[in-house]
Amino acid sequence: MSLLQIDNLSIHFGGLVALDGVSFEVEAGTIMGLIGPNGAGKTTVFNCITRVYHPNEGSIQFEGQELLRLPPHEIIRAGTARTFQNLELFSSMTVLENLLVGQHSSFHANPAEAAFSMPRSRAEERLGVERTNEILNFLRLEDYRDVMVSGLPFGTKKRVELARAMVSRPRLLLLDEPANGLSRGEVKVLIELVRSLRDQLGVTILLVEHHMGLVMAVSDRVTVLNFGRKIAEGTPSEVQRDPAVIEAYLGDTGA
Protein backbone atom coordinates (compact mmCIF):
# COMPACT_ATOMS: atom_id res chain seq x y z
CA MET A 1 0.00 0.00 0.00
CA SER A 2 1.25 3.44 -0.93
CA LEU A 3 2.09 6.12 1.59
CA LEU A 4 -0.10 8.67 -0.18
CA GLN A 5 -3.01 7.65 -2.34
CA ILE A 6 -4.96 10.30 -4.20
CA ASP A 7 -8.14 9.09 -5.81
CA ASN A 8 -10.41 10.83 -8.28
CA LEU A 9 -9.75 14.29 -6.85
CA SER A 10 -12.00 17.01 -8.30
CA ILE A 11 -12.52 20.61 -7.34
CA HIS A 12 -14.13 23.51 -9.12
CA PHE A 13 -14.26 27.19 -8.27
CA GLY A 14 -17.53 28.47 -9.70
CA GLY A 15 -17.49 27.41 -13.32
CA LEU A 16 -13.73 26.80 -13.39
CA VAL A 17 -12.76 23.16 -13.08
CA ALA A 18 -9.38 23.26 -11.34
CA LEU A 19 -8.98 19.52 -10.84
CA ASP A 20 -10.88 16.87 -12.74
CA GLY A 21 -10.61 13.32 -11.41
CA VAL A 22 -6.89 13.34 -10.60
CA SER A 23 -5.51 10.07 -9.19
CA PHE A 24 -1.96 9.10 -8.33
CA GLU A 25 0.03 7.35 -5.64
CA VAL A 26 3.30 8.08 -3.91
CA GLU A 27 5.29 5.10 -2.62
CA ALA A 28 7.08 5.41 0.70
CA GLY A 29 10.72 6.46 0.34
CA THR A 30 10.35 7.89 -3.16
CA ILE A 31 10.39 11.36 -4.63
CA MET A 32 7.40 12.19 -6.80
CA GLY A 33 7.50 15.22 -9.08
CA LEU A 34 4.23 16.94 -9.91
CA ILE A 35 4.56 19.10 -13.02
CA GLY A 36 2.43 20.83 -15.60
CA PRO A 37 2.08 24.15 -17.40
CA ASN A 38 0.86 27.23 -15.52
CA GLY A 39 -2.64 26.77 -14.19
CA ALA A 40 -2.52 22.99 -14.54
CA GLY A 41 -3.63 22.53 -10.93
CA LYS A 42 -0.39 21.50 -9.25
CA THR A 43 -0.63 23.84 -6.27
CA THR A 44 -4.37 23.08 -6.06
CA VAL A 45 -3.51 19.41 -5.45
CA PHE A 46 -1.19 20.61 -2.68
CA ASN A 47 -3.85 22.79 -1.17
CA CYS A 48 -6.30 19.90 -1.18
CA ILE A 49 -3.84 17.61 0.58
CA THR A 50 -3.15 20.26 3.22
CA ARG A 51 -6.85 21.09 3.53
CA VAL A 52 -6.57 24.72 2.48
CA TYR A 53 -9.16 23.86 -0.19
CA HIS A 54 -11.98 21.42 0.20
CA PRO A 55 -12.34 19.24 -2.93
CA ASN A 56 -15.81 18.53 -4.29
CA GLU A 57 -15.01 14.88 -4.83
CA GLY A 58 -12.33 12.29 -4.25
CA SER A 59 -10.23 10.94 -1.45
CA ILE A 60 -6.73 11.50 -0.10
CA GLN A 61 -5.42 8.61 1.96
CA PHE A 62 -2.20 9.04 3.90
CA GLU A 63 -0.96 5.88 5.63
CA GLY A 64 -4.50 4.60 5.25
CA GLN A 65 -5.99 7.66 7.00
CA GLU A 66 -8.46 9.86 5.12
CA LEU A 67 -6.96 13.36 5.26
CA LEU A 68 -10.15 14.99 4.00
CA ARG A 69 -11.80 14.18 7.31
CA LEU A 70 -9.22 16.16 9.31
CA PRO A 71 -9.38 19.90 10.00
CA PRO A 72 -6.49 21.85 8.38
CA HIS A 73 -4.44 22.22 11.56
CA GLU A 74 -4.47 18.44 12.15
CA ILE A 75 -2.81 17.59 8.83
CA ILE A 76 0.70 18.14 10.17
CA ARG A 77 -0.04 15.84 13.12
CA ALA A 78 -0.91 13.07 10.67
CA GLY A 79 2.74 13.15 9.58
CA THR A 80 2.99 15.58 6.68
CA ALA A 81 4.60 19.01 6.42
CA ARG A 82 4.84 21.56 3.66
CA THR A 83 6.64 24.60 2.33
CA PHE A 84 4.98 27.42 0.42
CA GLN A 85 5.39 28.79 -3.08
CA ASN A 86 5.39 32.33 -1.66
CA LEU A 87 7.09 32.13 1.71
CA GLU A 88 4.82 32.00 4.73
CA LEU A 89 7.47 32.47 7.40
CA PHE A 90 6.76 34.34 10.62
CA SER A 91 8.80 37.41 9.77
CA SER A 92 8.94 39.06 13.19
CA MET A 93 10.43 35.95 14.80
CA THR A 94 13.92 34.50 14.80
CA VAL A 95 14.79 31.33 12.91
CA LEU A 96 14.72 29.40 16.19
CA GLU A 97 11.26 30.69 17.05
CA ASN A 98 9.97 29.84 13.57
CA LEU A 99 11.18 26.28 14.00
CA LEU A 100 9.61 26.08 17.45
CA VAL A 101 6.26 27.02 15.89
CA GLY A 102 6.99 24.27 13.35
CA GLN A 103 6.85 21.86 16.30
CA HIS A 104 3.62 23.30 17.67
CA SER A 105 1.74 20.08 16.98
CA SER A 106 4.40 17.92 18.66
CA PHE A 107 3.95 19.64 22.00
CA HIS A 108 1.02 19.88 24.33
CA ALA A 109 1.62 22.31 27.20
CA ASN A 110 -1.63 24.20 27.87
CA PRO A 111 -1.82 27.93 28.66
CA ALA A 112 -1.71 27.37 32.43
CA GLU A 113 1.34 25.11 32.19
CA ALA A 114 2.99 27.68 29.96
CA ALA A 115 2.16 30.66 32.19
CA PHE A 116 3.40 28.92 35.35
CA SER A 117 6.38 27.50 33.45
CA MET A 118 5.55 24.02 34.71
CA PRO A 119 7.81 20.97 34.13
CA ARG A 120 6.07 19.75 30.96
CA SER A 121 6.29 23.21 29.38
CA ARG A 122 9.98 23.51 30.22
CA ALA A 123 10.82 19.97 29.07
CA GLU A 124 9.05 20.53 25.75
CA GLU A 125 10.83 23.83 25.32
CA ARG A 126 14.22 22.13 25.81
CA LEU A 127 13.35 19.30 23.44
CA GLY A 128 12.15 21.83 20.87
CA VAL A 129 15.43 23.72 20.95
CA GLU A 130 17.36 20.44 20.70
CA ARG A 131 15.45 19.29 17.62
CA THR A 132 15.83 22.75 16.11
CA ASN A 133 19.59 22.61 16.55
CA GLU A 134 19.73 19.17 14.91
CA ILE A 135 17.83 20.19 11.80
CA LEU A 136 19.65 23.53 11.54
CA ASN A 137 22.95 21.69 11.61
CA PHE A 138 21.71 19.28 8.95
CA LEU A 139 20.70 22.15 6.68
CA ARG A 140 23.80 24.19 7.58
CA LEU A 141 21.71 27.01 8.99
CA GLU A 142 23.15 27.00 12.50
CA ASP A 143 24.69 30.47 12.11
CA TYR A 144 21.25 31.98 11.54
CA ARG A 145 19.55 30.43 14.58
CA ASP A 146 18.99 33.66 16.49
CA VAL A 147 18.63 35.95 13.49
CA MET A 148 15.34 37.66 12.68
CA VAL A 149 13.81 35.99 9.63
CA SER A 150 12.78 39.26 7.97
CA GLY A 151 16.41 40.26 7.44
CA LEU A 152 17.54 37.06 5.71
CA PRO A 153 18.25 36.77 1.98
CA PHE A 154 15.57 35.02 -0.09
CA GLY A 155 17.47 31.78 -0.66
CA THR A 156 18.16 31.44 3.05
CA LYS A 157 14.51 32.09 3.87
CA LYS A 158 13.55 29.21 1.60
CA ARG A 159 15.94 26.92 3.46
CA VAL A 160 14.55 28.13 6.78
CA GLU A 161 11.07 27.22 5.58
CA LEU A 162 12.34 23.79 4.61
CA ALA A 163 13.85 23.45 8.09
CA ARG A 164 10.57 24.52 9.66
CA ALA A 165 8.77 21.80 7.72
CA MET A 166 11.37 19.13 8.56
CA VAL A 167 11.56 19.90 12.27
CA SER A 168 8.14 18.34 12.86
CA ARG A 169 9.69 15.05 11.58
CA PRO A 170 7.17 14.44 8.81
CA ARG A 171 6.99 11.17 6.87
CA LEU A 172 5.73 13.04 3.83
CA LEU A 173 7.24 16.36 2.79
CA LEU A 174 5.33 18.57 0.38
CA LEU A 175 7.58 21.04 -1.44
CA ASP A 176 5.85 23.79 -3.39
CA GLU A 177 8.29 25.18 -5.99
CA PRO A 178 11.44 25.05 -3.87
CA ALA A 179 13.59 26.28 -6.78
CA ASN A 180 11.44 29.35 -7.42
CA GLY A 181 13.63 32.45 -7.24
CA LEU A 182 16.87 30.58 -6.68
CA SER A 183 20.03 31.10 -8.70
CA ARG A 184 21.54 28.35 -10.85
CA GLY A 185 24.14 27.59 -8.19
CA GLU A 186 21.52 27.46 -5.47
CA VAL A 187 19.44 25.00 -7.50
CA LYS A 188 22.43 22.66 -7.71
CA VAL A 189 22.73 22.75 -3.94
CA LEU A 190 18.97 22.20 -3.64
CA ILE A 191 19.16 19.04 -5.78
CA GLU A 192 21.71 17.54 -3.39
CA LEU A 193 19.65 18.71 -0.44
CA VAL A 194 16.39 17.15 -1.60
CA ARG A 195 18.18 13.86 -2.23
CA SER A 196 19.82 13.92 1.17
CA LEU A 197 16.50 14.60 2.89
CA ARG A 198 15.17 11.38 1.43
CA ASP A 199 18.36 9.31 1.74
CA GLN A 200 19.47 10.41 5.19
CA LEU A 201 16.25 11.42 6.93
CA GLY A 202 14.06 8.89 5.11
CA VAL A 203 11.27 11.28 4.22
CA THR A 204 9.00 10.73 1.21
CA ILE A 205 8.73 13.81 -0.97
CA LEU A 206 6.03 15.22 -3.22
CA LEU A 207 7.47 18.03 -5.26
CA VAL A 208 5.61 20.68 -7.26
CA GLU A 209 8.10 22.43 -9.51
CA HIS A 210 8.49 24.44 -12.67
CA HIS A 211 12.22 23.92 -12.86
CA MET A 212 12.52 20.88 -15.14
CA GLY A 213 16.20 20.38 -14.38
CA LEU A 214 15.41 19.92 -10.70
CA VAL A 215 12.37 17.69 -11.23
CA MET A 216 14.10 15.37 -13.68
CA ALA A 217 17.24 15.15 -11.55
CA VAL A 218 15.61 14.19 -8.27
CA SER A 219 12.27 12.52 -9.03
CA ASP A 220 11.78 8.75 -9.07
CA ARG A 221 8.45 9.24 -10.76
CA VAL A 222 6.73 12.22 -12.32
CA THR A 223 3.02 12.99 -12.64
CA VAL A 224 2.02 15.51 -15.28
CA LEU A 225 -1.14 17.61 -15.03
CA ASN A 226 -2.71 19.82 -17.66
CA PHE A 227 -5.96 21.77 -17.27
CA GLY A 228 -6.75 19.89 -14.08
CA ARG A 229 -6.34 16.40 -15.54
CA LYS A 230 -3.54 13.90 -15.26
CA ILE A 231 -2.07 13.45 -18.73
CA ALA A 232 0.93 11.25 -17.94
CA GLU A 233 2.80 9.44 -15.22
CA GLY A 234 6.08 7.55 -15.22
CA THR A 235 9.81 7.81 -14.71
CA PRO A 236 11.39 11.13 -15.74
CA SER A 237 12.66 9.72 -19.02
CA GLU A 238 9.29 8.12 -19.89
CA VAL A 239 7.47 11.35 -19.19
CA GLN A 240 9.89 13.42 -21.26
CA ARG A 241 9.20 11.23 -24.30
CA ASP A 242 5.43 11.19 -23.81
CA PRO A 243 3.72 12.89 -26.79
CA ALA A 244 0.88 14.25 -24.61
CA VAL A 245 3.39 15.94 -22.32
CA ILE A 246 5.34 17.40 -25.23
CA GLU A 247 2.13 18.77 -26.66
CA ALA A 248 1.04 20.24 -23.33
CA TYR A 249 4.32 22.11 -23.00
CA LEU A 250 4.99 22.99 -26.63
CA GLY A 251 1.55 22.94 -28.24
CA ASP A 252 -0.46 26.06 -28.93
CA THR A 253 -1.92 26.14 -25.38
CA GLY A 254 1.37 25.69 -23.54
CA ALA A 255 4.69 27.52 -23.26
Partner 1 sequence: MIGWVLLGLFLLFFPYLHTWPAASSFLDSVDNTTGLGIGGTFGVFQMTTLGVWLVILTGLNILTGYSGQISLGHGAFVAAGAYITAILLDQTATPLVVAILAAAIGTAAIGFAIGIPSLRLTGPYLAIATLAIIVSMPQFLKWDKVSEWTKGSTGIDLPSADVPTFLGLDRFMDDSQWLYYSVMVPAVIMTVLAWNLTRSRIGRAFIALRDSEIGAQQMGVNVSLYKTLAFAISALYAGVGGGLFAYTQDFVSPDSFGIFQSIEFLVVIVIGGLASTLGSVLAAIFFVYQDGVVLRLAELIGFPERLRWAFFGVGLILIMIVAPNGVAGLVQRLKTLRPATVLEMLRQARPSAMISRLRNHPLAERLGLGRRDEHDPGDEES
By the criterion CB under 8 A, which residues form the site for partner 1? 50, 52, 71-77, 82, 84, 88-93, 97, 100-102, 104-105, 107, 109-111, 114-117, 121, 124-125, 128, 147-148, 150-151, 164, 168
In total, the chain counts a number of residues equal to 255
- The least distance separating partner 1 from the CB of residue 172, rounded to whole angstroms, comes to 13
CB of 125 to partner 1, least distance (A): 7
Nearer residue to partner 1 within complex by CB, 143 or 192: 143
Euclidean distance between CA atoms 233 and 215, whole angstroms? 13
Could you tell me how many helices (H) and strands (E) the chain has, helices first? 9, 10
- Whether the CB-CB separation of 9 and 19 falls below 8 Å is answered with yes
Ranges assigned E (strand) in 54-197: 57-62, 65-66, 80-82, 172-176
Task: State in angstroms the smallest separation of the CB of 151 from partner 1.
Answer: 3
Strand order in the sheet with 229-234: 80-82, 172-176, 204-208, 31-35, 221-226, 229-234
Least distance (Å) from partner 1 to the CB of residue 247?
35
CB nearer partner 1, residue 19 or residue 89: 89
Burial of 63 (0-12, 13-18, 19+ CB in 10 A): middle
Q: Kindly state the smallest distance separating residue 161's Cβ from partner 1, in Å.
A: 9
Q: How far is the CB of 57 from partner 1 (least distance, A)?
A: 23
Closer to partner 1 at the Cβ: 139 or 174? Answer: 174
Closest separation in Å from C-beta 55 to partner 1: 17
Judged by beta carbon, residue 150 or residue 196, the one nearer partner 1 is: 150
Toward partner 1, which CB reaches closer, 28 or 87?
87
Cβ(50)–Cβ(75) under 8 Å?
Answer: yes
The residue (of 6 and 75) whose beta carbon lies closer to partner 1 is 75
Beta strands in 192-251 (DSSP E): 204-208, 221-226, 229-234
Q: What is the rounded distance in angstroms from the CA atom of residue 44 to the CA atom of residue 62? A: 17
Phi, psi angles (nearest 5°) of residue 178: -65, -25
**57 versus 88: smaller Cβ distance to partner 1:** 88
**From CA 166, how far away is CA 149, in angstroms rounded?**
17
